[in-house]
Structure 1
Amino acid sequence: MLETLISTYAQGPCTLKKLTLCLTSHAVKHSDGLGICHDIERVLLSFRGLESIFLDMSHLGLVSKESVINHSQSLETSGIGTSHAMSVAYKTSDLAVILNDCTKLTQLAIPLGIGTSKWTGLCHDELDLQVAHADQQQVNNIQASLVSAVAFRLCSSRTELVHFADYYVLQAAIATHSRLHSFRTMDCPYLDWNCDSNEYQWTDGRLPDMYVEVAAVALQNLATQVFRYLCEHGSRFRALAWKPLRRNHELDTDSIPDSNGHCWPAYAYYKGRVTDAQGVARVVAIPVSNYEGEMLESDIFDGRF
């Protein structure tokens, strides 16, 4: 089929504007994986003019930056991920080239490959409790403390925030983009709770109940700092989500929603503002619980993927 598409599109002007392709693990298992990835790149390079690209590459890896940039003069929405490979991501330098060349891009969804982040770094500097071994009263105290937590800042020198260096580089590239307004990271929002289990302890699709509200505060705080950085640098950025590809991390129907209406691992926010008692307005992340129904202007948050 891919060979047919290549020969068809190479013959003359192509009117195709939107390409959505989701590879299944079963199909890839019984095929030449590298050959499939190469053929998809050949399809993308065989013509120009796509306005929307959404590719689930299973575990094959991401298509080349050249195959995306080939549509730079028209591309408005781009979502490229791997539903069965959790650590695949573009190099920061490649992503910067894509953002620089695709000047019409308004929406972007990609994995960042950042890994696990310290939850304490996203909440309060002096909070040093072993959450994994806390009883319910301790958890309640932690949740109450986190409500007013404001200590986290991007580019902090604290060692536990080293993973956010990639966030900083990405934000610097996004902040200079003239049209980009929506971003979705396809990574799972793993947080290190200082417990004995490894970072993939939640891959059964459910976050332990005792962490639900802590995760809600940590991710909202991070989203607020992202929005503030981008706003300070003139970005039009207004929507942000952590949402893995659905087949990468199926949401458990028994997952408990947090106080923002989110169920791990999907979190979505709009940029908003609040005014304090002195009349000073500050940018904040506004949680969106029904993001599939409310964020209709952002195709990359589509619940089907």
Structure 2
Amino acid sequence: MIFTSSQPLLVVVALAFAALATTADAATLRGTVQTNHIVREFSLVGPDAKVVAYSLNDTSAPRYEARIKRDGSWQLDLPDPAPYVEPAVVPAEKEEGAGEPVASGPPKSDVYLLKYKLRGLRMDQYRLDVRPSKKPGQPPLLFARKYDPTYPISSALYLSDVAQLPLLDYPLGTHSYFQSVQDFNALNYLWMTIKSPMILMALGAFVLVSLLPKMMATLDPEDAAEMKESQKAMADRMAALQSGDWKAALDSGAPVAVPAGKSGGPGATGAQAGGGSKARKRN
């Protein structure tokens, strides 16, 4: 067979295109979005529906996007990871000398966060791990795991199983941007007002101010005198603390003496006076 001068060039170009196609398909992720009771027809979602992959290894790296077709299918091309390098074998050091060789660990993978950009719809998110193959000429290994945004991205490794490829997803729900208007209800409004902390504090202060004088009027005169002396001592202590006189604040905490003529004798403490009052009642 006789080859013309242009045939070898065509063969080289064909081989180059085949190599490029193989490289492009090496790290390709495919998926489909199914319709359900939330979305009856995917064509109604909008023309800007897409999937986006963010690199977690390098935050400055560009994001990779793919449009979602009207039938719900999509195809996302990711860059190939670094070629697999056989891990170095390092001898484990022991007390007696070098021991058995130990591998340096598994190959490093490129990590991505996959999100759906669908207006008004909630979708699952995925953690993507792209690892180089140990065999030369083989496509890289691609793993997808569902990711819960309320947890760290590393939690997907042990909280989620590896998803089957191609991915098959459906809308989980819709985003609620507005709140429905409710009819005015006086009881609900009153309850919302009463359970406010400021309102509760005001009610507590009102109860103390209104009920404390009545409680003081019904007390025994000696008990009322003791309570007044205790309140006066507490007020003196607070005033001393505010002025910075710590010595006076500590001295104001001493037992309060009851005036002479009261039960318990002159110079008796408030506690002793109270005890005499109770003893007199028992007699």
Fold match, TM over 0.5?
no
**Which structure is richer in relative contact order (CA contacts within 8 A, separation 6 or more)?**
1
Instruction: Give the TM-score category using the shorter length.
Output: under 0.3
Higher strand proportion, which one? 2
The structure whose Rg is larger is 2
